[in-house]
Structure 1
C-alpha cells in the first residue's frame, strides 16, 4: 500500500507558488467534454483573461474555430481483503494513469470532435482488466450537424443520461465507456429529446484495438424537461448470463425521474420498470431510488445532509419462468461510493451522507451505507452485473455495512486533489456464503483538466 501511495504522490503537479485566482470564470468542465461551450471566447479580450483562453478558442477563419483541452489523472487504490478476502489478489495495491486530450472543431453548422485516450495500470494483480488498462485508443470521435430543430451526431461518443443510473460514462475506473452509433437531439418546447441507436465499445489490451461490441445493442429515447426526465431504453445481449445460463436477452426499460431544488431542500427520485424475455423466461424487474437532502447555509462549514434509499429487484425463484433480476445496463462506475464492491441488482440500500465546505477550496464528506438482498432467492452482483456471490441455501438478507470518508482540494480551477478511506464489514449473508473479512480501500487521486 505504501509503495502505491508514494508513487501517486510523486506524480502530483505540486505548485511552485500560490497564485491569485483570476476573476474570469470558465464554463463548467464536463466529463464528456463535448458539452462545454467556449464560443463566447470569440472575443479576444475575454480570451486574454486566463491562460487557458488561447487553447479554448483558436480562430481558424470565417466562422471556424478550434477548442482544445486535456485531462491528466493519476489515481492510486490500495485494498485490504478485496471482495472480503475472496479475490485472487485480496491485498492488491496499484496505480492508474490516464491522459485524455481532445480537439473540438467548429465550422459553420458542422462540428468534428476527437478525443484519444492513453490508459496504463501499474501493479494490478493478478493482471489488468479492460477497465484498468487499454493503452492508446480512440475514446471519442464523431461528426455533428446542426440541422436547425435537430442536431445529428454520428460516431464514437460517451453518453451520460440523467444520474447515470442506467447509462453512464464509467468515469471513476481508469477506462471510461463509449458507444458507437447515432444520436439525434431536438428541442420541443422546454423539453430536450434524444434518440439513440448505439453499440458499446469493448476495450482491448493493446493499442488501437478497441472494438464495437457484436453482442450488445442499445436504443431508445430520453426526454429531459425542467425537473422531470422520462425515458425508454431497449437493450439486446446475445451472450447474457443469469442463473448460470447463457442466452439471448431482450430487455425494455421505462423510467421516470423527478429532481429539483427548493430553497435549501433538494431531491432526486427515480423509478424504472423492466420487461422482455431471456431464454424462454419473462423478464419482470424494477428499481426505485430516492434521495432527499437539505443544505444549511447559515451553519459553519455550510453542511449538506442527504439520505439515499434504493430498492432494486432480484430473482425470487430460479426456474419459475420469470426473471426478476434488474439489469443496470451501463451504469456509472463508482455506484454507491468510492468503494463499490456490489452493484445495483437485488439490493436494498440505505445511505446517509453529510458534506461540508472547509474553506480554501477544500470539501469533505462522511457517509454510511447498509445493504440487504431484496430477494432471498438471488445473490449479490457487481456493478457490471456479474454474480459474485450466489444465494445458495442462505436465508439472511443482510449483506453488510460500509463507512466512507472523502476529502477534496480544488487547488486551482484546473487541478484537484482528492482522497478517500472506506471500509465494508460483511453481514450474515456474506459470512454464510464465503470469505467474510472486512474490506478496506484507500484511494488517492490527482486530476488536472482544462
Structure 2
C-alpha cells in the first residue's frame, strides 16, 4: 500500500505542477512516443522564459540548443486465474514504475545527439520476466549526422519501430522498452524513403547498467523502404535478416538464420481505411529449411451514430505454424521483435501458429477515449503449439483441438492535456477446447491502470 500511496502522491504532484506549467506554454510543445521526435521550438535566447521553459531549454545559442525532458509511467496490474487455473494465490496485484529522462543536443542543422536513461521498477510480483525490471539502464544513446539533404547516418543505441510495428516495435506495453545497438543509413525524398541498418538487440538485465550487449549470437539487419503515392496511400517493402543461436520452437532448440520478405499497403478508398501486410520467411533452423508466412488484413470505417463519430474496424490474420516436426521443414512464423501487447496488454498469445479475428469499435468524447474489442483465436497447425508474446512456447501441442480462446477487452483513457493521461484496460479470456484439454479451463481476468506524465 505504501507503493500505491507514493504513486498517487506523485501523480497528483505532477498534475498540479505540469498542468500549470504547460498551461502557460499551451501549444508550444508536442511530445512524441519516441522523444527524439518531439516538436520543440528553437529559441534565439533564454531571456524572459518561464521556469518550465528555462529548465526545458538548458542551453541556447545561435543555431544550437540543448533541451531536457522525460516521462514517468506508473501502472497497477492484476490477474485472476493468470494461467487459466483457480489454483494458487489470486491476490496477485503488482505495481510498475518507469522513469525516462533525456537530453537532446542539436548543433546547427546537421548534427544531433540524443541520450535517454531509464529506470524500470516493480513491486509485488514474484516471477519476474526480463521486461519487468531494470533498475538503471541506457535506453537510447545515439548520434545523427545529415550528410546531405538526401542522406542521414545514425549510430548508437535506439528504440526502433518499422511500419505498423507488426514485426519490429519499441515494446511500449511492458515496463522495459526494447533497444538495439545499431548503425543505420537513411535515404529520404518527398516520395521515397529507405532505411538500411545492422543491429544487435540489447538484452535487459534487472540490475544497474548490466544489460547484455555486443554478444553477436543474435543480430538483426535489413532494408526497409516506403513509397508515398499520396498522403494517405503508401507502400512499404522490406527485406529483414535475423540471426539467433539457441532459438526454441515446438520442434526443438537450434540455431536460426531467418530472412523475412514483406510488403505493407496503407490507403483509403471510399471512406474505408485499410492496412494490409504480407510476409514470407525463408532460411534455416538447424538442419531444417524455413518456409513460413503471414497475411494480415485490417479495414476501418468512420460511422456516425446519434451524431457521434465511431471508428469501426476488423483485423484478421493467418500466421503459419509447423506442419510436421520430422519433415525437414520449419513452418513456424517468427514475428521477430513485435510489440509485447500484440493482442492487448494481457499478452497471452503471440503472433505465431495463429488464426485470429479481431473486430473493434472506438470513439472519443472530448478528452475521454473508449475502445471495445473482441478476438477469437485458433491454431493454424495442429502439430504446433501456441506461443507467447515473447515468442516463447507457452502452450505446447498436447491435443488435436484447434480453437484456443475467446477474448473480450476494453480501454478507457482520459487526457488532461497532451502531457498527462490516465488509462484503464481490462480483458477477459474464455478458454477454448485447446486450453481446456490441457487442464487450463478457468476464465482469466486481467486489469491494468496506467498513468503517464511527460515533461
Assess same fold via TM > 0.5: yes
* Structure 2 portions without partners, runs of 5+: 229-233
Change in 2 beyond 3 A, CA 1:47/1:56: farther
How far apart in 1 are the matches of 2:284 and 2:221? 16
Distance 1:248 1:263, change over 3 A: same
> What is the TM-score when the length of structure 1 is the normalising length?
0.92
Instruction: Say if 2:96 is the partner of 1:96.
Output: yes
Write the deviation string for residues 268-289 of structure 1: whole angstroms up to 9, x where unpaired.
1011110000110000001111
The separation in 1 between residues aligned to 2:280 and 2:270, in whole angstroms, is 31
Residue correspondences, number: 444
Moved more, 55-64 or 401-410: 55-64
- Is it true that 1:436 corresponds to 2:437 in the alignment? no
SS of equivalent to 1:335: coil
Aligned to 2:161: 160
Paired position in structure 1 for 2:327? 320
1:385 alignment partner in structure 2 = 391
1:429 is paired with a residue whose SS is: helix
CA distance in 2, matches of 1:67, 1:16: 22
Partner of 1:64 in structure 2?
64
- What is the CA distance between 1:318 and its match in structure 2? 1.0
Look up the match of 1:358.
365
Task: Name the SS for the 2:42 alignment partner.
Answer: helix
- Are the counterparts in 1 of residues 78 and 446 from structure 2 also a CA contact under 8 Å? yes
Contact 1:159/1:178 (8 A) holds in 2? yes
1:89-109, CA deviations, whole angstroms, 9 ceiling, x for partnerless residues? Answer: 665210000100101101122
* Equivalent residues of 1:41, 1:47 under 8 A apart: no
**2: CA distance, partners of 1:37 / 1:5:** 33
Counterpart for residue 332 of structure 1: 339
- Alignment of 1:398 onto 2:400: no
Once superposed, what is the RMSD of the aligned Cα atoms?
A: 2.6
8 Å CA contact 2:45, 2:60 repeated in 1: no
Alignment CA distance shift 1:318-1:448 (3 Å): same
| Residue number in structure 2 paired with 1:112 | 113
3-state DSSP of counterpart to 2:202:
strand
Question: Residue in 2 aligned with 1:204?
Answer: 205
Name which of structure 1's ranges 435-444 and 180-189 shifts more when overlaid on structure 2: 180-189
Please give the alpha-carbon distance, in whole angstroms, between the structure 2 residues aligned to 1:293 and 1:59.
45
TM-superposed CA distance for 1:190, in Å, is 1.0
Judged with a 3 Å threshold, the aligned counterparts in structure 2 of structure 1 residues 291 and 91 are, in CA distance, closer, same or farther, namely farther
Note if contact 2:46-2:57 (Cα within 8 Å) is conserved in structure 1: no
Contact 2:30 2:418 in 1 (8 A): no
Distance 1:169 1:432 in 2: 35
Q: Give the match's secondary structure for 1:184.
A: strand
Contact 1:41 1:57 in 2 (8 A): no
CA contact (8 A) 1:4 1:93 kept: no
Q: TM-score, normalised by structure 2?
A: 0.91
In 2, Cα distance between equivalents of 1:288 and 1:41: 44
Aligned counterpart, 1:30: 32
Structure 1 position 211, deviation (Å) = 2.1
Superposed CA deviations along residues 136-176 of structure 1, whole A, max 9, x for unmatched, are 11110011111012111111111111111111101110000
- C-alpha contact (below 8 Å) 1:8/1:445 kept by paired residues: no
Question: 8 Å contact 1:237–1:249 — kept in the other structure?
Answer: yes
Quote the residue 2:12 is aligned against.
Answer: 13
